[in-house]
Structure formats: structure tokens, C-alpha cells
């Protein structure tokens, strides 16, 4: 029995030995190839892992590399080139498998200039010094271009065939430009189109569309057209259409928001600062005599406010004392007050003392709202009266155009007289007191509507 057991044990041990020996000499299935590579999640999809047997069948090994990696930038870019050769550095994020001559002839492009040499800095292949010669005074644009696939002429790649991922550019402005406006009109009111001429300090190679859209800015107006003056390269004329009674402003300035491949845009960047021309509207000075009068003055104030017009009221002193609330409203709404004597006196009928008394009493009534202006009632005065007023610090204000509203010829006639007398710096006289001024109120509305459409401004004659 014992012998049989020993025999079975010997057979089992023999089988185990045979199995162990066979596993030492039989080639196992090739293991999977395990490769670790630090990539972002966006690049993992482009990587395939092959079994060892598949690699052997293909006869080649798989090279894994990132799809994005090599970048370049320009450094030490000059502020301007002053018509002299200059240099700047080109830095790659990794060494590149390319010579300086290949970079110069196949990859670097200069607009308005020439790349004359490309040399490695300290024998490095990731940092290169680029020498450039400008073509005249124009701004120079240097760009780096590369084919997208390595192995082709002009392709910029690392030693491991990683292609360039960006296309850097550098701009070196030429010497500064300046601009000067030629003589322009004094006022823009009443005109549908305003020509404005300006000249650059040197010929400028720029398209009219580029200049209009990127180099010009108009305020209170739109640019109708832009053309060269007599086909000159340095002189231009812009035609503006006024859009309001504000100051019309045309500004010529540097253009930064434009494509780097536009030579004209590069030229506009040479304008170190903006230059502006302002053309004001024509100003008309409306004046009203003989008030204030509760039956008329509030309606006139309403119309003036509606058309953003400010005027000077030559007031009668006793009416100032009688209607202080109207005086306050006038001042609060931006109007000014002039002296029209205490009770609308004929100054030629008064003695010197009486002239001084009627003017000074009115000034006292006006108090802090008084201005150094007076107008003689009936326009009756002489040199003595002018001198007496001057001794009180008053200057006489008359008018440049008469509307004849005091004769009550009808609202249409008064409005026509206002428009006919309207010109830059005109002083027009109307009346808000001294009788029925209904026609004046009606005419004022009609005349201001028309004159505002012609972009006139209305400001007080006395401050």
C-alpha cells in the first residue's frame, strides 16, 4: 500500500517538472507595447498604440510626438527705423532644423524692406538675429511663414519633425508723419457740404478707403467723400456733411485697427498723435427788449428752450422789480440780462444826472444778474450818453439787423425778416414787452425751426 502511494507521488512530480521546463523554452505571446507620453487631452485622440506583433508585421516602429509644440516670436523690435538698417531677434520655443540662409530666403518676408541676413545668436538654433534694410521711409512689416508639413522646402520644424504652429509678425514704423490742415471755412451753418483739405508731411501710399475708414474720424458730421488734391500723394480733401449745430470736428490719426498686410495702414501708424480741425456753427445773438411781460415772456422762453437757444433780454428796471419770478426763470434757463433803463426812458430828454440815475437804478435791481451791457430805448443816444454809461461800466449794444416786429407787420413777415437778417454773429432785436407781441411769438417759432435746420447756434450777446 505504501509502495503504491509513493509511485503516484513520483508520477505527479515528474509531470510538474515537465510543465516547468516547457515554459522556459517556448516563446510566449509578445507583450503589449506600453508607451507613456505627456500630452493634453486634445492631443490624445491622434495617438494610436499598436501591439508588438503588429509593429513587427509593419516592420517599423511608431514615433509618438505632440501635434502642437513649436512656436516663434519676434523680440527686441525697434520703435522706428529712421531710414537706416536695423535688426531684431526671432526666438523659437525649441531648436529648429534649419539654417539662417534657409530662414532668410524661404521663411522670412519683409514688406517695404529686405531681409539681408539671418544669423544664429551664440550658435543657438532657437534664437536668430534678423537684419533688415528698409525700402525708404515707409513702415516695415516682417513676417515668418512656414509650410504646414515637415520635409518640404520652406517648412520650419524641430529635429523631431514638429512643425511651426504660429505665424508671427513684427512692424517697425518709419519716421514719424505729421499732418496739417489748410485754410478752412469759419462756420459750417447754412452749408450742406463742407470741404476740408489737409496735407501730410510727405507722400503717403494709402488707399482712400483705408484712410477714410481707419485714419479719419468726423464729429457732428459724416464723411461724404475723400479724394486726392490734384492727384498728389500728400494732399487730400474730405467733404463733410454736417449733422448738428455742434462744432464740426475732423480728426486725422494713427490707424491701429487694421490688417498688418495693408501698406497704407502701416503708413498711418506713423502718425504719432492725432490732429484735429474744429469748425464751429455760425452763432446768432437774439435780443429781446422792453420786458419782462407775463403775457409774452413765458411763451418766448418756452420756444427758446425747445430749440436750445439762449438770448439776452434788455429789461426795463420797473418790470424787473414787478416780475422777479420771470427774471429768475430767464437766468436759470441760460439767458442773460441787459439794461434798458428804469422805465423805458428817452435818454436824450434826460439830464446827465438823470441818465446815470435811470441806468444805475436798473443795475441795482438786476443785482447779481446784471451784465455790463445797456441798450438805449428808441435807439436815441449821443456821445455824451455813451460816455456816461461807460462811467458806470456799461457798454452800448445795438443790433446788426432789425426784424421790425414792433410794427406788427404779421408773423410771416417778421419770420422772414429774422431769417433774412441771420448771418454769423448777427445781433437781432425783437420785443417781448411794450404791447401785444403775439406776432413776435408766432414768428419766433417759425424762424427758429428753419434756422436750427440750417445748424445755426444761438447764444447771448452779453455775459
Which residue in this structure is represented by grid cell 419770478? Answer: 325
Separation of alpha carbons 69 and 166, rounded Å: 10
Separation of alpha carbons 369 and 385, rounded Å: 23
Q: In this structure, how many other beta carbons lie within 10 angstroms of the beta carbon of residue 379? A: 12
Task: Please state at what angle helix 297-306 crosses helix 324-332, rounded to 10 degrees.
Answer: 10
Q: Which three cell numbers stand for residue 214?
A: 481707419
C-alpha torsion angle, residues 100, 106, 112, 118 (rounded to 10): 0
**Closest CA relative to residue 315, chosen from 401, 406, 431:** 431
User: Do the beta carbons of residue 381 and residue 339 sit within 8 Å?
Assistant: no
**Closest CA relative to residue 270, chosen from 168, 223, 200, 217:** 200
Q: Which three cell numbers stand for residue 423?
A: 448771418
**Closest CA relative to residue 292, chosen from 463, 434, 428:** 434
Residues labelled as active-site residues: 289, 431
Separation of alpha carbons 427 and 424, rounded Å: 9
Amino acid at each position: 500500500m505504501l509502495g503504491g502511494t509513493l509511485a503516484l507521488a513520483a508520477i505527479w512530480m515528474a509531470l510538474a517538472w515537465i510543465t516547468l521546463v516547457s515554459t522556459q523554452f517556448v516563446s510566449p505571446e509578445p507583450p503589449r507595447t506600453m508607451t507613456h507620453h505627456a500630452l493634453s487631452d486634445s492631443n490624445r485622440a491622434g495617438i494610436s498604440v499598436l501591439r508588438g506583433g503588429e509593429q513587427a508585421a509593419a516592420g517599423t516602429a511608431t514615433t509618438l510626438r505632440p501635434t502642437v509644440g513649436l512656436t516663434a516670436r519676434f523680440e527686441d523690435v525697434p520703435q522706428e527705423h529712421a531710414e537706416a538698417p536695423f535688426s531684431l531677434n526671432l526666438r523659437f520655443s525649441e531648436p529648429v532644423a534649419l539654417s539662417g540662409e534657409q530662414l532668410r530666403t524661404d521663411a522670412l518676408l519683409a514688406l517695404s524692406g529686405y531681409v539681408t541676413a539671418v544669423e544664429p545668436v551664440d550658435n543657438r538654433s532657437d534664437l536668430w538675429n534678423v537684419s533688415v534694410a528698409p525700402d525708404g521711409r515707409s513702415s516695415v512689416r516682417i513676417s515668418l511663414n512656414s509650410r504646414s508639413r515637415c520635409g518640404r522646402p520652406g517648412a520650419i520644424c524641430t529635429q523631431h519633425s514638429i512643425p511651426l504652429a504660429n505665424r508671427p509678425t513684427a512692424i517697425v514704423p518709419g519716421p514719424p508723419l505729421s499732418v496739417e490742415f489748410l485754410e478752412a471755412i469759419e462756420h459750417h451753418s447754412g452749408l450742406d457740404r463742407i470741404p476740408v483739405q489737409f496735407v501730410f508731411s510727405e507722400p503717403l501710399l494709402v488707399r482712400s478707403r483705408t484712410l477714410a475708414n481707419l485714419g479719419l474720424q468726423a464729429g457732428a458730421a459724416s464723411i461724404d467723400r475723400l479724394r486726392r488734391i490734384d492727384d498728389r500723394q500728400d494732399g487730400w480733401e474730405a467733404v463733410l456733411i454736417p449733422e448738428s449745430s455742434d462744432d464740426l470736428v475732423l480728426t486725422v490719426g494713427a490707424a491701429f485697427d487694421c490688417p498688418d498686410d495693408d501698406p497704407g495702414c502701416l503708413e498711418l501708424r506713423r502718425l504719432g498723435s492725432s490732429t484735429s480741425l474744429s469748425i464751429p456753427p455760425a452763432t446768432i445773438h437774439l435780443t429781446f427788449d422792453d420786458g419782462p411781460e407775463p403775457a409774452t415772456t413765458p411763451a418766448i422762453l418756452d420756444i427758446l428752450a425747445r430749440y436750445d437757444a439762449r438770448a439776452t433780454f434788455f429789461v426795463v428796471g420797473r418790470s424787473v422789480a414787478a416780475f422777479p419770478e420771470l427774471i429768475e426763470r430767464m437766468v436759470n434757463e441760460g439767458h442773460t440780462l441787459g439794461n434798458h433803463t428804469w422805465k423805458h426812458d428817452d435818454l436824450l430828454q434826460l439830464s446827465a444826472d438823470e441818465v446815470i440815475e435811470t441806468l444805475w437804478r436798473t443795475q441795482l435791481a438786476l443785482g447779481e444778474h446784471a451784465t455790463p451791457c445797456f441798450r438805449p430805448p428808441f435807439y436815441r443816444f449821443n456821445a455824451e450818453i455813451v460816455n456816461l454809461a461807460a462811467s458806470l461800466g456799461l457798454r452800448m449794444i445795438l443790433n446788426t439787423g432789425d426784424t421790425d416786429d414792433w410794427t406788427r407787420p404779421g408773423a410771416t413777415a417778421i419770420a422772414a425778416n429774422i431769417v433774412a437778417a441771420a448771418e454769423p454773429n448777427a445781433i437781432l432785436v425783437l420785443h417781448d414787452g411794450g404791447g401785444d407781441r403775439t406776432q413776435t411769438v408766432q414768428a419766433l417759432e417759425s424762424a427758429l425751426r428753419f434756422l436750427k435746420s440750417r445748424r445755426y447756434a444761438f447764444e447771448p450777446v452779453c455775459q
